[in-house]
């Protein structure tokens, strides 16, 4: 499956491959320590966030885009 932004598709594939390799070769064998794909995920996440903004896709209510957003509003 392609990513929401064309520019992000290759990053998505790289992350998916990394995650699937880690899951099959480590996690399922009881080795869950570490985060070998974290940097790839962060790069992909930033790319997706940029694509969503560029395409003006409404994301109201989705906290993953900016976790700090809304905390001040909800804390009253």
The per-residue pLDDT for 5 is 79
Report the number of distinct structural domains present in the chain: 1
Per-residue model confidence as pLDDT tens digits over 11-68: 999 999 999 999 999 999 999 888 899 999 999 999 998 988 888 877 776 665 454 5
Per the domain annotation, does 65 fall within a domain? no
Per the domain annotation, does 43 fall within a domain? yes
Q: What gap in Å lies between CA 39 and CA 1, rounded to an integer?
A: 21
Per the domain annotation, does 61 fall within a domain? no
pTM, to two decimals = 0.69
The residues, ordered by sequence, that sit 6+ positions from 63 with a Cβ below 8 Å of its Cβ are: 69, 70
């Amino acid at each position: 499956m392609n990513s929401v932004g064309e520019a992000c598709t290759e990053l998505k594939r790289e992350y998916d491959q990394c995650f699937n390799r880690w899951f099959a070769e480590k996690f399922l064998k009881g080795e869950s320590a570490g985060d070998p794909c974290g940097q790839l995920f962060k790069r992909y996440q930033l790319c997706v966030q940029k694509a969503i903004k560029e395409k003006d896709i409404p994301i109201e209510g989705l906290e993953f885009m900016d976790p700090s957003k809304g905390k001040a509003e909800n804390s009253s």
